[in-house]
Structure 1
Amino acid sequence: MGNQNRTTASSFNDGLCTIWDSMDGEAPAKVYENLRYREEIVGAVRYFAAKQAQVRLSRSISVPMVQGVNAGQFVEIRQAGKPLLYQIEQAQHMRGDDPAHPGCPYIKLSLAALSMAQEAGWYGGI
Structure 2
Amino acid sequence: MKVSPDGHLVAIGTLSGLVLFYDYPTGRLRHELKAHSGLVNCVRWFDEGRRLVTTGLDGTVRIWDTDSFDLVTTLYVGDRQMFSVDVSPNGSAIVASDADGEVRLWRTADFDQTVRDAPAKQR
Asked if Structure 1 and Structure 2 have the same fold, meaning a TM-score greater than 0.5 normalized by the shorter chain, the answer is no
Which structure's residues are more often helix, by fraction?
A: 1
Which structure's residues are more often strand, by fraction?
A: 2
TM-score (norm 1): 0.29
Q: Report 1 or 2 for greater relative contact order, CA contacts < 8 Å, sequence distance ≥ 6.
A: 1
